């Protein structure tokens, strides 16, 4: 079980590093949006590539930060139910949700999106060949879909390992989980 805990910790580290990089992407996107607005209003200049990059940045943030959101326990949860279950009940609820919903959805999304990404990459598809005037490669955004779901699946696996460790009373759940459990002392 110690080896599995090490795997979960390594997955956490990967997702934390990616989250820090994505935060810089948010800053770059804010600068890009401000620059686009100034160029349009002050100089009547618009670049299709800049507009496409805005939603590419936003999509990357959403897709790549989902795993970090799960790691930090900031995802959507029905707290009223979680508060009534206690630590072991919450571990069971999380484990069942991860195994029956999260991991199958992630696998399905990777399975569905990978061929689209691969085809786009091999064909050197650009946004200009679709609905935009920019020459931004379309495979970039299509690649974020399987990558984001892969990271989410890996984080789900890490969380499932933690649930099993908590249920076996080998290791406690991370501290942020305890915010959900009301303790009357």
What is the predicted pLDDT for the residue at 119? 94
What is the predicted pLDDT for the residue at 82? 66
What is the predicted pLDDT for the residue at 144? 93
H helices present in the chain, as ranges: 2-43, 48-71, 79-97, 103-122, 138-167
Residues 12-64 pLDDT 10s? 899 999 999 998 888 888 999 999 889 888 888 887 778 788 888 888 899 99
Residues 152-181 pLDDT 10s? 999 999 999 999 988 888 877 665 554 444
Distance of CA 179 to the CA centre of its chain: 22
Considering only residues 139 and 176, tell me which one the structure prediction assigns the higher pLDDT: 139
What is the predicted pLDDT for the residue at 164? 92
| Residue 44 DSSP label | -
Q: What is the mean pLDDT of the chain?
A: 84
Share of the chain above pLDDT 70, in %: 85
**What is 130-156 written as a DSSP string?**
TT-S---BHHHHHHHHHHHHHHHHHHH
What is the predicted pLDDT for the residue at 151? 96
What is the predicted pLDDT for the residue at 90? 83
Give the whole-angstrom CA distance, residue 99 versus residue 161.
11
Burial of 54 (0-12, 13-18, 19+ CB in 10 A): middle
Residues 77-94 pLDDT 10s? 666 666 677 778 888 888
């Amino acid at each position: 079980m110690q080896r599995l805990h090490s795997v979960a910790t390594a997955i956490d580290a990967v997702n934390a590093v990616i989250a820090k990089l994505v935060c810089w992407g948010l800053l770059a996107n804010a600068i890009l949006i401000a620059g686009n607005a100034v160029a349009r209003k002050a100089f009547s200049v618009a670049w299709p590539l800049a507009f496409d990059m805005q939603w590419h940045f936003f999509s990357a943030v959403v897709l790549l930060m989902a795993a970090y959101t799960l790691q930090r326990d900031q995802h959507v949860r029905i707290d009223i139910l979680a508060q009534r279950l206690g630590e072991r009940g919450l571990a069971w609820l999380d484990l069942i949700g991860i195994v029956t919903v999260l991991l199958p959805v992630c696998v399905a999304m990777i399975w569905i999106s990978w061929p689209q990404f691969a085809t786009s990459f091999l064909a050197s598809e650009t946004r200009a060949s679709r609905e935009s005037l920019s020459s931004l490669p379309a495979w970039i955004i299509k690649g974020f879909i399987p990558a984001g779901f892969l990271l989410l699946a890996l984080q789900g696996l890490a969380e499932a390992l933690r649930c099993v460790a908590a249920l076996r009373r080998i290791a406690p759940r991370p501290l942020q989980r305890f915010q959900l459990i009301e303790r009357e002392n």
